[in-house]
Amino acid sequence: MNLKIYNNSSDPRATQKSLSLVADLSAVQLTDQTSVENPSFLLDYNASYINANYVYCPELKRYYFITGREIRNGNQMILNCHVDVRMSFRSQILASDIIAD
């Protein structure tokens, strides 16, 4: 599974985020029993990932906020995430016809 790790400097409520790429990984696994809305990604440890706060998973076609980090065995880490629906479905949201009263 692929995963792009970012630093996000935008307000979480914004539909367009200001992202700085930290890493583009290809050897990422999902942990046991995870959900699409709140996945946990298992990857090789790298100190530069500690301060990252945002990820994109092309296979799941979603952007995620990193909500927690766990270090395993000193050489692996788990990123616990929660879906960012505004960014994940941005094109559909912007294409919607909305009437506000």
What confidence score (pLDDT) does residue 94 get? Answer: 78
Q: Indicate if the pLDDT at residue 34 is higher than 80.
A: yes
Contact 42, 55 (CB under 8 A): no
Strands 76-83 and 29-30: unpaired
What confidence score (pLDDT) does residue 96 get? Answer: 80
What confidence score (pLDDT) does residue 11 get? Answer: 92
- The CA–CA distances, whole Å, from 42 to 12, 19, 45, 57 equal 24, 22, 9, 13
What confidence score (pLDDT) does residue 68 get? Answer: 96
- pLDDT tens per residue, range 10-31: 999 888 899 999 999 998 999 8
Q: Indicate if the pLDDT at residue 39 is higher than 80.
A: yes
